[in-house]
Structure 1
């Protein structure tokens, strides 16, 4: 099976690295390059390559935008290329979508290419898998960076990075910062759905914490744990929040 391949990346060095590896494979008949999403869309529509290596993070038109312009159902087989971003990787793995993380080894590239060729030889690529993976990435883009809070007649904005923890208070929430507290008229569930799950974890039905502000975690009793934040605040973790606990153990606050 001879394949035509399109390599899309705004970084020439990264693009050429993939091209060189592809040139070593006897199954690759033709290789084209694009340095931006707009030209990639035109190339896909005109030449219909069998396989695409598509960078996600590109200026102007990202890899996600390019897929949206073509339509996932009309996309050729696609290997997404990304800088290390755990959320993107989980989205791809959950939907069996092939990906490469920069920088990648020759062995990793060979494994990914073989997997892509095997899927093309079998039943092809399922567009719904690409759609589901990209939808997960789009949700990440919708997560809050700042939260508007009202004080008297004034509205100010709180950066989510400054949040230490959030407490449920009936139909409101209390946002705890290192230097104060703000009350927000929103339910815990509604706010939680708009917070990045890479950065915030619900450790109790009435408490959400910023995982980057965690100083330590200690076992308590009856399966409970105590989470100490970098402000010294100690919060009890429900014994049912095992997933949150595992995330906290494997995540270290960024300095």
Structure 2
């Protein structure tokens, strides 16, 4: 048996609500779960989140239908599927700006109403599918022992160095360390230091964290090029690289460095 679609009818005219009830009789899955005769009642009812779809009159004596939805959105509350019903077509733009499913003009035409109901059912089915997918993704994230089918992240394997007369690649593996400067970053290799116009944080985000380690606010080192390290003054570390250069860490990065060193304990 299909799950009932909880439906709210909102119109200040009893006759208009009666007509919607009659038209809904041909669609038993849309169960009328509530009726409201003004915008204030509609706002209170929709704040409960108890409805899947609302047939909402636009013009009402206190709050109109558009204002009801605007207040719900301003409060950060979820909206049901919305079908506007009105005798005036000048509200159509505002209605669809609020992502209404449909906009029915009075007097309601049965064939047009049936088309609207089909659209409501299709969109609810899409919402349920999306919600199921989101729930499954959350479950997989919360259960780390489950194998993940997500592809591994792709890390940058080379840098582009731009010079006035040419541009060329520097393989990531050839970089001993990256050093922030006032105008960008220097890529230190065995033969040169190549300037790159980017921030150190931007470049670090593209590098494999299993290989590159940030040891200072202005320095990221390629751990595969570390020859030796030792404790230094004021609780810092001194790293000697394969190119013979020495790089000093900052105490504020000690926790990250110690976590890296645990791999080899």
Q: TM-score, normalised by structure 1?
A: 0.46
* TM-score w.r.t. length of structure 2: 0.44
Q: Which of the two has higher C-alpha Rg?
A: 2
